[in-house]
Structure 1
């Protein structure tokens, strides 16, 4: 099946090793795909409660005290 805006990069044995995506066509889909990749990579990271994060950001001056 050939999809407009999708091109495969192959190695010297004609195995697919990468893909090029036309962002004009699939930009929104790519954003969702990328967000999912980041979430998957971070799934085992330590979780920080939101209230602790807000407190730290305020202490560092990165968040307005009124929040």
Structure 2
């Protein structure tokens, strides 16, 4: 992403209370945060020791449970 172009909003005492970012920088930050969340979820799933099943099978089981309701 490189250097962020940012501006700060300050209160009357000069304390920074908000940040202004170009929308492209903001969107890139959101994308990276989402990627980090995905990595954390993957790591947690791997560490859980739960049984691994194929995605298609999981969908079929979820749909079957939904149909039973």
Shorter chain as denominator, the TM-score bin is: 0.3 to 0.5
User: Taking structure 1 as the reference length, what is the TM-score of the superposition?
Assistant: 0.45
Bigger Rg, which one? 2
Structure with the larger helix share:
2
TM-score in terms of structure 2 length: 0.44
